[in-house]
Structure 1
Amino acid sequence: MSGRELALQVSRRLREQGFQALFVGGCVRDLVLGREPADFDVATDATPDQVLALFPNSLAVGAQFGVVVVVDGEHRVEVATFRSDVGYSDGRHPDRVAYARSAQEDVQRRDFTINGLLMNPESGEILDYVGGRADLKTCLIRAIGEPSRRFAEDKLRMLRAVRFAARFGYAIEAGTFAAIHDHAAEVPRISAERMREELTKLLTEGAARRGFELLDETGLLEQVLPEVSRMKGVEQPPQFHPEGDVWIHTRMMLEMLPAGCSPTLAWGALFHDVGKPPTFVPESVTGSRIRFDGHVEVGARMAEEICRRLRFSNEDTDQVVALVSNHLRFKDVPQMRPATLKRFVRLPRFAEHLELHRLDCLSSHRNLGTHDFVRRFLEETPEEQVRPARLITGDDLLELGLTPGPRFAEILKAVEDAQLDSQLTSKGEAMEWVRRHFVEHSLGSGKS
């Protein structure tokens, strides 16, 4: 059963019991635009208790706000009771939910006109009480009713306006834009998790550049990611970055992120040069060219701080920081020892590192020499040479009479480096190599 089939089934069951049931929100918007919706929402005059009685296996995750989730396998349909919310003291949740009598009253509380459309699931008739169809035709993101009130109800709507405008290539209606600008300073009240999720969607829906330009134009960027905002006007040495300043370079990279790209790659692209503004030294000081000494290390620390602030998982934080930490290593690839190169390409999710480097090159000097070098190396080098089985273990070191301790890791790494450099190919060679380089040396120095 598809998501649409589940939504039709839910709607029919509600109607059979005498309730109203209409598709609502983004699914109707997408159907009007000729797109297949990712999910379906149903609006009804049935109360949450009545919905739960009809669908006993559903989830009462938002029942206090009039929302029940009907689940069938991997598909979920949100069923929301017609309501008119009363007050939003916390800038997200209604202080009190009053159930409404009609769909027309219900849509007045929703965010934007293009998301306020309703559809009769049986006939396909579109019900438009907010002017959403006209705004779809003229490509406008417009708040329903008074924009300032909509944004006071939920601060996240300001970020959503930017995301929808970027994703669809729409403009933000003047009154809605002005209200976002006026209330931008309130956006930090959004929880870190909700802000991260919305920004991640903005980065991965195929319109990241336009999205971040709109964040900047509305005044939201300085509030949500001041570290990124500080990239503006930070000049770079033209011999390496003919495209312009750090902000231009970063936006060019964002423009090349496709819809559905890895979130950590997208955040890595956004943050890869975040350490440049605080390390900028002009050529008038250096006497040669603009420099950003230590910007990788500074940027990695800043990226980690931002990821912690936005409550990223530890795994995603580690990957974003690794992308920032390693993005300059590609320039040294042609001179790397085989062991160093093999360890480099063994980094977790190395494909993201390689893609970040490609985007970085295409957004500056456009020389893909090192990218192609690494790509060929990966294509031509067997996996067993990049990740060979270990020749010896700690037990073998004990057999050689070495004393366990931190030095074991150092010795095993040295053996693996020699193996990756093709100097050692068997356990016997490795044991003799250790005996010669470590055991005899230890005996000669009186250590064991």
Structure 2
Amino acid sequence: MKHTEPYQAAVEVVRKLRDAGFQALWAGGCVRDLQLGKEPKDYDVATNALPDEVRHLFGKRHTLAVGASFGVIIVRGHQPDCDVEVATFRTEGPYLDGRRPEHVHFTTAEEDAQRRDFTINGMFYDPINDSIFDYVGGKSDLQQHIIRAIGNPLERMQEDKLRLLRAIRFTATLRFRLDEDTFHAIQTMAEQITVVSPERIAEEMRKMLLHPNREYAMELACSAGLLKPVIPELASLWETEGSLSLWQQTLKRLEILQTHHFETAFAALLLDLPVANDQQRLETVYQICKQLRFSNHELNLVHWLIEQRESLQGASSFSLSRLKRLLAHPDFPFLIELVEADLRSRNQSLADLEFCRQYRDHTPIEVLNPPPLLTGNDLIAAGIKSGPQFKELLTQIQDAQLEERIHTQADAQALLEQLIKHK
């Protein structure tokens, strides 16, 4: 079997540590993924070598001390995806801030396994001798499709509150079931998720909503009590008497949605926000995205998608200028994904959507979005001062071009003269 370069790089790190007399094993998520028959995104090595010993062995020029105080050193590969994280076996002190331990104590592999989050992430693998070291029952839980906290679930969650969301993500993305005691611990502590930074919460939401099992993830997050403290504005979807159907509608939309883009999925989640009117909905969407520290691009796209939710209705009767402007919008493909999922979830006609899709697919881009026949410079040359009429004139000329009433720069100049005269 041919292995990838990152795989080979991680084997060589283990081999070099072993040759120097240290223990070294692959640990965590890469072991889980290999057991599931998946190619790991990255490889982590656990060892009894101390951070300084790791740096001395591989050389300071080829290592990064990103978390030396916690026993973590990055061994640089010949390319970025071949970097390997090397961590010393450790136990951890109390997590007073619910995010990171106050101190660590270097120890053995067996003790190291006990401080990890879930059993499926607590296994070690020897890539040279092809053997698993499992001190926490991870292999059995993997075979039975169970997500279970290692040891006492409440203690594991107290250590790092982000694990509350990580448990939901692993359960949903792997399509496993959540161990009952672990689920109850999450329910008990759900309100404490707010001690985690908005950026870390948003990253977990991205991973869940980008996955095809996004509907299962949101249903679990809701039933575990996590979705309410993360996005309290959604809570009345399932808490208000008689409105549960709106939450079921949201879940159905997420289940149907086919997208590889987080913003489209997040818009689908917020599409039925229970508010008084459309303007309030858009203001609430803006606030939610701000609270979760979304980038400006993410915020603007989510906002635009929700704003344009009904913009395809009656598309076959649109003027050509209105139709072409909509279809030429760079984010229109995301809107199509969202609208299709929404219409299908409500068993509504796809006729307008199909008309738009067919028109867009069969219209050359130079017809759909042609270069303007006149620009602002042309208007300035004609003696027009910038102001409200400036944009209005350009829009009117572009409308005529999109509606194919004018075709050349001379046509546009003639129309401009008429418009000025008319003004």
* TM bucket, shorter chain: over 0.9
Q: Residue by residue, what CA displacement relative to the aligned partner does 1:180-236 show, whole Å, maximum 9, x if unpaired?
A: 111111001110110000011111122111111111111111111122232226799
On the 8 A contact 1:87/1:153 being kept in 2, the answer is: yes
On the 8 A contact 1:115/1:132 being kept in 2, the answer is: yes
**Unaligned 5+ residue runs, structure 1?**
238-243, 280-293, 443-448
Name 2:364's counterpart in structure 1: 382
Pick from 87, 92, 102: which aligns with 1:80? Answer: 87
Q: Residue by residue, what CA displacement relative to the aligned partner does 1:423-443 show, whole Å, maximum 9, x if unpaired?
A: 1111111111111122x234x
Is the counterpart of residue 177 in structure 1 residue 176 in structure 2? Answer: no
Quote the offset at 1:33 in angstroms.
Answer: 2.1
Is the counterpart of residue 423 in structure 1 residue 405 in structure 2? Answer: yes
On the 8 A contact 1:233/1:246 being kept in 2, the answer is: no
Quote the offset at 1:309 in angstroms.
Answer: 0.7
Name 1:70's counterpart in structure 2: 75
Shift in CA distance, 157/68, structure 1 to aligned 2, threshold 3 Å = same
Name 2:263's counterpart in structure 1: 264
Output the CA distance in 2 between the equivalents of 1:353 and 1:71. 41
Output the CA distance in 2 between the equivalents of 1:310 and 1:338. 39
User: Which letter does structure 2 place at the counterpart of 1:10?
Assistant: V
On the 8 A contact 1:41/1:78 being kept in 2, the answer is: yes
Name 1:446's counterpart in structure 2: none
User: Which letter does structure 2 place at the counterpart of 1:329?
Assistant: S
Is the counterpart of residue 126 in structure 1 residue 132 in structure 2? Answer: yes
On the 8 A contact 1:87/1:96 being kept in 2, the answer is: yes
Is the counterpart of residue 321 in structure 1 residue 337 in structure 2? Answer: no
Is the counterpart of residue 194 in structure 1 residue 200 in structure 2? Answer: yes
Name 2:37's counterpart in structure 1: 34
Is the counterpart of residue 59 in structure 1 residue 37 in structure 2? Answer: no
On the 8 A contact 2:275/2:281 being kept in 1, the answer is: no
The share of aligned pairs that are identical, in percent, is 40
Is the counterpart of residue 400 in structure 1 residue 382 in structure 2? Answer: yes
Instruction: Write out aligned runs for 1:3-402 (5 A).
Output: 3-55=6-58, 56=60, 57-72=62-77, 73-75=79-81, 76-100=83-107, 102-232=108-238, 245-257=245-257, 261-274=260-273, 277-279=274-276, 294-295=277-278, 297-402=279-384
Quote the offset at 1:298 in angstroms.
Answer: 2.4
| Segment of structure 1 superposing worse, 299-308 or 412-421 | 299-308
Output the CA distance in 2 between the equivalents of 1:118 and 1:395. 67
User: Which letter does structure 2 place at the counterpart of 1:268?
Assistant: A
On the 8 A contact 2:393/2:419 being kept in 1, the answer is: no
On the 8 A contact 1:424/1:430 being kept in 2, the answer is: yes
User: Which letter does structure 1 place at the counterpart of 2:367?
Assistant: Q
Shift in CA distance, 12/257, structure 1 to aligned 2, threshold 3 Å = farther
User: Which letter does structure 2 place at the counterpart of 1:210?
Assistant: Y
Output the CA distance in 2 between the equivalents of 1:120 and 1:344. 56
Output the CA distance in 2 between the equivalents of 1:233 and 1:95. 39
Quote the offset at 1:34 in angstroms.
Answer: 2.1
Output the CA distance in 2 between the equivalents of 1:355 and 1:174. 36
User: Does the residue aligned with 1:210 lie in a helix, a strand or coil?
Assistant: helix
Output the CA distance in 2 between the equivalents of 1:63 and 1:26. 21
Q: Residue by residue, what CA displacement relative to the aligned partner does 1:98-150 show, whole Å, maximum 9, x if unpaired?
A: 111x1001111000011101111111111110111121122211111111111
User: Which letter does structure 2 place at the counterpart of 1:218?
Assistant: A
Shift in CA distance, 418/236, structure 1 to aligned 2, threshold 3 Å = farther
| Segment of structure 1 superposing worse, 4-13 or 265-274 | 265-274
Quote the offset at 1:338 in angstroms.
Answer: 0.7
On the 8 A contact 2:257/2:338 being kept in 1, the answer is: no
Shift in CA distance, 90/195, structure 1 to aligned 2, threshold 3 Å = same
User: Which letter does structure 2 place at the counterpart of 1:351?
Assistant: P
Quote the offset at 1:273 in angstroms.
Answer: 2.2
Quote the offset at 1:362 in angstroms.
Answer: 1.1
Quote the offset at 1:377 in angstroms.
Answer: 0.6
On the 8 A contact 2:120/2:142 being kept in 1, the answer is: yes
User: Which letter does structure 2 place at the counterpart of 1:116?
Assistant: G
Output the CA distance in 1 between the equivalents of 2:245 and 2:264. 21
Output the CA distance in 2 between the equivalents of 1:407 and 1:371. 34
Quote the offset at 1:395 in angstroms.
Answer: 2.6
Output the CA distance in 2 between the equivalents of 1:131 and 1:172. 15
On the 8 A contact 2:256/2:344 being kept in 1, the answer is: no
User: Does the residue aligned with 2:411 lie in a helix, a strand or coil?
Assistant: helix
Output the CA distance in 1 between the equivalents of 2:385 and 2:207. 53
Output the CA distance in 2 between the equivalents of 1:47 and 1:96. 15
Is the counterpart of residue 441 in structure 1 residue 422 in structure 2? Answer: yes
Quote the offset at 1:20 in angstroms.
Answer: 0.8
Output the CA distance in 1 between the equivalents of 2:297 and 2:288. 14
Output the CA distance in 2 between the equivalents of 1:366 and 1:214. 27
Quote the offset at 1:320 in angstroms.
Answer: 0.9
Instruction: Write out aligned runs for 1:406-417 (5 A).
Output: 406-417=388-399
Shift in CA distance, 264/236, structure 1 to aligned 2, threshold 3 Å = farther
